[in-house]
């Protein structure tokens, strides 16, 4: 008996099947096909390309756009992305075309649609919304358009101390479990004070939640104008900057502190009406930090003696 060589081959599925399965379970492809309909001349739809991007992005590997076909060479693309989808279909022209469509529609707007779609299938019940910003340094020369449709990659307030590099910013909101609820790309010189209040208002409007939600942001959010603007329409938790006069006066007051459940800390709560909005300010004292500060004071005092 003569054995003929088999034409069958194996490909690596790995954890990519989980990503593709969740993508299908949430019916994201149907949503993207509605938002970004396919033109007859294209081999694959924008939803398929976006699904491929998610698989690559969550693949714990990094591939430049022109290397995407190489990433999918040894993957069962028809199993992951649909019948007839081959690695050679996933070239940089295809991905560039989809990215252009995403830019035209609005990346944040598409993300908002996906979140609302996911909430129909998954019990996402945000009680706390954590809002924050960060920025990223980039190399190269970027030409910014003044058409208002693109962000400005420019010099800003570097959080990585690289003042010599251009940058862009990202504003993001996650729930108490770390699930992203909102994301937006911003100019490199965006002001956190303005961005955070705008982000909180957008999230409140987009999600349209009936239950009470607490918005948490750092001290950059806490300005008199922002407090007035958010008013009594939302609940917020933030850190009061020590530069505010009311805060300075409170820290100089001889407060009666109560020990917290974590005995390393003690606190005192006082009412405030800063910005014309009734609030509860809580002053915390760290025993460990207090001992360190007292030690520093004693060392400086002994040096002066």
Rounded CA-CA distance 156/261 in Å is 41
Task: Using the predicted structure, report yes or no on whether residue 228 has a pLDDT greater than 60.
Answer: yes
Share the mean pLDDT of the chain: 88
- Between CA 188 and CA 195 the distance in angstroms is 12
pTM: 0.83
Kindly report the CATH class assigned to 125-239.
Answer: alpha beta
Residue pLDDT, tens place only, 23-39: 999 999 999 999 999 87
Residue whose structure tokens are 């790995």: 14
Domain ranges of the chain: 16-109, 125-239, 240-305
Position 1 confidence tier, pLDDT thresholds 50, 70, 90:
very low
- Please provide residue 246's backbone torsions phi and psi, each rounded to the nearest 5 degrees: -60, -35
Burial 41-53 (b: 16+ CB within 10 A, else e): eeebbbbbbbbbb
Distance CA 293, CA 295 (A): 5
């Amino acid at each position: 008996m003569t054995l003929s060589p088999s034409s069958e081959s194996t490909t690596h599925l790995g954890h990519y099947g989980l990503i593709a399965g969740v993508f299908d379970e949430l019916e994201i492809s149907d949503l993207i096909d509605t938002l970004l309909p396919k033109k007859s001349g294209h081999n694959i739809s924008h939803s398929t390309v976006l699904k491929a991007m998610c698989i690559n992005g969550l693949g714990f590997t990094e591939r430049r756009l022109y290397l995407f076909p190489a990433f999918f060479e040894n993957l069962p693309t028809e199993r992951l992305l649909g019948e007839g989808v081959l690695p050679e279909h996933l070239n940089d022209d295809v991905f560039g075309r989809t990215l252009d469509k995403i830019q035209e529609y609005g990346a944040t707007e598409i993300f908002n649609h996906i979140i609302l779609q996911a909430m129909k299938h998954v019990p996402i019940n945000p009680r706390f919304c954590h809002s924050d910003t960060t920025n990223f340094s980039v190399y190269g020369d970027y030409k910014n358009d003044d058409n208002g449709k693109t962000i400005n990659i420019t010099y800003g307030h570097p959080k990585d101390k690289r003042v010599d590099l251009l940058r862009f910013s990202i504003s993001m909101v996650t729930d108490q479990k770390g699930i992203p609820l909102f994301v937006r790309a911003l100019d490199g010189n965006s002001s956190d004070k303005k961005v955070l209040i705008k982000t909180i208002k957008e999230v409140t409007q987009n999600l349209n939640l009936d239950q009470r939600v607490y918005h948490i942001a750092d001290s950059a959010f806490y300005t008199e104008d922002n407090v007035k603007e958010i008013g009594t329409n939302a609940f917020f938790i933030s850190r009061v900057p020590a530069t505010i006069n009311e805060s300075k006066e409170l820290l100089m007051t001889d407060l009666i502190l109560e020990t917290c459940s974590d005995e390393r800390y003690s606190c005192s709560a006082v009412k405030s009406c800063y910005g014309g909005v009734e609030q509860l300010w809580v002053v915390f004292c760290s025993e460990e930090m207090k001992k360190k500060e007292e030690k520093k004071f004693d060392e400086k005092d002994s040096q002066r003696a």
